[in-house]
Structure 1
Amino acid sequence: MSMENLRRKRRRSNGETAERRRPSGASARREAPALRRTSSGASPRSGAQSTSPPGRGGPAGAGAAEDPGGAGRRAARLPRAPGGGVRQGGPMSTLTEDLTDLFDHVWGRFRARMAGLGDAEWDWRPTRDAHLGLRRRIAHLTGTLREDRNPVWLGLPPVSPPAEPEPEPESARAALAAAELAYARWRGWLAEVPQEALAEPIGAVAGPYGEATRLSFVLHLADELVHHTAEAALLRDLYAGTH
Structure 2
Amino acid sequence: MTGHVLPVLLRGWDDAHARLDQRLAGLGDTEYLDEPVDGAWSVRRGDDGTWATDWADPAPDPAPVTTIAWRLWHLASGCFADYLAQSPPGRPLTVSGLQWHGDVGSALRDLEVAATAFRAAMTDLGEEGIWRPLGPAWGPYADSSWADLLVHATDELAHHGAEIALLRDLYRWR
Contact 1:96/1:193 (<8 A) preserved: no
Contact 1:106/1:225 (<8 A) preserved: yes
Match of 2:109 in 1: 177
CA shift in 2, pair 1:175/1:157, >3 Å: closer
How many residue pairs get aligned? The number is 146
Corresponding position: 1:124 with 2:34: yes
Corresponding position: 1:107 with 2:17: yes
Match of 2:164 in 1: 232
Corresponding position: 1:98 with 2:11: no
Compute the TM-score of the two structures, normalised by the length of structure 2.
0.74
Cα displacement (A) at 1:221 = 0.9
Give aligned-pair identity as a percent: 29
Instruction: Detail structure 1 runs of 4+ shifted over 6 Å in the superposition.
Output: none
Larger relative contact order, structure 1 or 2 (CA cutoff 8 Å, min sep 6): 2
Contact 1:124/1:133 (<8 A) preserved: yes
Corresponding position: 1:145 with 2:80: yes
Cα displacement (A) at 1:121 = 0.8
**Aligned to 1:198, which of 120, 130, 134?**
130
Cα displacement (A) at 1:170 = 2.9
* Structure 1: 5+ residue stretches without partners: 1-91
Cα root mean square deviation, aligned: 2.3
* Structure 2: 5+ residue stretches without partners: 43-65
Cα displacement (A) at 1:93 = 6.9
Could you give the per-residue CA deviations for residues 131-167 of structure 1, whole angstroms, max 9, x where no partner exists? Answer: 51111011111111122x4374xxx52528x853266
Compute the TM-score of the two structures, normalised by the length of structure 1.
0.54
In 1, Cα distance between the equivalents of 2:167 and 2:3? Answer: 35
